[in-house]
Amino acid sequence: MELHVEGLSHAYGPLTVLDDINLAIRPGQILCLVGPSGCGKSTLLRMIGGLEQPDGGQVLQLSPPPTESLNPLTFIFQDFALLPWRSVAGNVALALEHHDLSAGERDGIIADVLARTRLSDFADVLPRQLSGGMKQRVAIARALAVRPAVMLMDEPLSALDAQTRELLLDDLVGLWTRTPFTAVYVTHNLDEAVRLGHSIAILSRRPGRVREVLDLDMPLEGRSLSDPKLAKARDRLWESMREEAQTADRELADV
Amino acid sequence: MSDSDFAKPVTYRGGGFKPVPVAWIGAAFLIALVIIAEIGTRTGIISALTLPRPSAVLETFAELYSSGLLWKHLFPSLSRLAVGAFLGAAVGIAVGVAIGLFSIARSALVPLVAAIFPIPKIALLPLFVIWFGIGEGSKYALIAFGTFTPTVVATYGAVDAVDRGLIRMAQSFNVPWWGIVRKIVLPGALPGILSGLRVSLAIAIILLVAAEMLGATYGIGAYILEAGSLYDLERLFAGVTILSLLGIVVSWAIGRLERRLLAWRG
């Protein structure tokens, strides 16, 4: 499914956080949104997913979502957002329970997504018993269960340690390679952006504007930071962001 | 390190600030107090007018039990407590959840609850008699009313404390409103509601005595009040001990409930 963000603006009181954002989210591709902290990239993602209303502009769905999709715009959150009182399978089930599915169909979907995220052995385990990386895999399984048309990922790896992040990044690349999905991936980590992004949009600090959109015309699989082409792209992004990040760092947090 | 003469282990300065329950200390402390009272009253250091002898209280209790009067007093009290506390807690939880969910309920009821909370419910006894008669109705009402306010406050606090991130997650999966309340808000608020119930049920036991001031012939409260008016300290203490035991049983029951329902907290 293709989405267009058109002239999106938003302000919290007198503070403009997003200013005339225009973006194209192309089907079967991952768009990374990077920017310094506080530039409104998470707010933008919530607006794309209909969890917040922008003051101006709109997010347009260019085609009807595929009929097999249960929840076309599906989020993956930074803090996993798992219900601590439900098991792994129960957390996945939450996304399916209100849909018109037979118990058999539902169990089939749950078994399938847990297998795809290598969680089949942990179906009955409670979230508190899982490591951070596994918790996020549960959240990914839950997202896959509703067959999303667009995945909206809000810094999904930021709460994880460096090694786990690396492993999960490989998982995401693997998932995409097997069945390409459309996604918007918010991050402040440039390494993640150049590993996962088919295109990378850099937002400036407040008020958030699209500074530039960089297209990375390389297959996701086998992308490595030791590849000079990727390293160059990363350096270019950093050049473009550096000053913004420095200024953002000196700003007082008063939001 | 060149100064090897000096070598000494680093002084430990962490630890503490982490009290843990030590098994049997509670019971041992209570028994020690009773033994001190027993010795004190037997030797005459504590006069019989100041404090009844624990062994005499126990005898009174045994008498109460063997005469069959214990059940005659305990049964009406327990049923008053059960009906009153259940009504108060049930309505309290419902109102508390409504305050936690709806702006209008919140604006209308929070000031009202704040106004009702500090009223000593005992002061309203005559009013309850007029409204509900001198029979069981006014006793239920008094206990229910006293249980209601702390339950409301604990419940809406607990609903407010439910992780908004989980609610937003459910919305992002299009979980319907009622599903969010049932599957996220209520289970998320349960720990707070249960710890609020600990307080409310203790208050219900306090109010039991007050309720039985209203022309009850039988009941623990009636028994205590009668003993009190006769300055019969042994019987007074026997009655008070029953209330204490009741408090312990209720708190233990809630503890069991918490372990069952909140096992996910680990």
pLDDT tens sequence across B135-167: 889 999 999 999 999 999 999 999 999 999 999
How many angstroms separate the first and last alpha carbons of chain B? 46
Give chain B positions within 8 Å (CB) of A85: 187, 262, 264
Q: What is the pLDDT of residue B66?
A: 93
Pairing label, strands A199-203, A30-34: parallel
* Cβ–Cβ gap A128/B264 under 8 Å: yes
Output the pTM of the full model.
0.85
CA distance B81 to B89: 11
Please, are residues B215 and B129 in contact by the beta-carbon 8 Å criterion?
Answer: no
Residues 6+ apart with CB under 8 A from A253: A38
From chain B residues 146-175, the ones with a CB under 8 A of any chain A CB are: 165-166, 168-175
Mean pLDDT of B105-127: 91
Indicate the CATH number of B65-265 among 3.40.50.300, 1.10.3720.10, 1.20.120.1200, 3.40.190.10: 1.10.3720.10
pLDDT tens sequence across B19-55: 888 889 988 998 999 999 999 999 988 887 888 899 9
Pairing label, strands A30-34, A210-215: unpaired
Mean pLDDT of B208-224: 86
Alpha carbons within 13 A on the beta-carbon side of B84? 31
Three-class SS state of B104: helix
The structure tokens 């409260």 sit at: B221
Alpha carbons within 13 A on the beta-carbon side of B116? 17
Three-class SS state of A15: strand
Three-class SS state of A252: coil
Q: Does A88 touch chain B (CB under 8 A)?
A: no
Q: pLDDT grade, residue B124 (50/70/90)?
A: confident
Indicate the CATH number of A3-65+150-253 among 3.40.50.620, 3.40.1030.10, 3.30.310.160, 3.40.50.300: 3.40.50.300
**A123 pLDDT more than 70:** yes
Phi and psi at B242, nearest 5°, equal: -60, -45
Out of A40-44, A245-249, B255-259, which region has the weakest mean confidence (pLDDT)?
A245-249
Q: Amino acid identity, residue B111? A: P
**B205 pLDDT more than 90:** yes
**A253 pLDDT more than 70:** no
Give chain A positions within 8 Å (CB) of B165: 77, 79, 81
Domain boundaries, chain A: 3-65+150-253, 86-148
CB-based burial, A80-107: b 16+ in 10 Å, e otherwise: bbbbbbbbbbbbbbbbbebeeeeeeebe
From chain B residues 223-262, the ones with a CB under 8 A of any chain A CB are: 262
Mean pLDDT of A65-92: 93
Mean pLDDT of A146-172: 91
* Cβ–Cβ gap A81/B166 under 8 Å: yes
Give chain A positions within 8 Å (CB) of B169: 75, 77, 81
* Cβ–Cβ gap B169/A81 under 8 Å: yes
* Cβ–Cβ gap B169/A75 under 8 Å: yes
Please provide the average confidence, as pLDDT, over all residues in chain B. 91
Nearest to A43 by CA among A154, A200, A183, A199: A154
Domain boundaries, chain B: 65-265
* Tokens encoding A68: 């097999």
ipTM above 0.95, yes or no: no
Nearest to B45 by CA among B36, B54, B33: B36
Q: Identify which of A83, A95, A128 has the shortest CB distance to residue B166.
A: A83
Q: For residues B82 and B266, which has the higher predicted lDDT (pLDDT)? A: B82
Q: What is the pLDDT of residue A218?
A: 83
Give chain A positions within 8 Å (CB) of B174: 71, 98
**B7 pLDDT more than 80:** yes
Q: Please report the DSSP string for A65-124 in residue order.
A: PPTT-SSSEEEE-TT----TTS-HHHHHHHTTTTSS--HHHHHHHHHHHHHHTT-GGGTT
The structure tokens 């918490």 sit at: B258
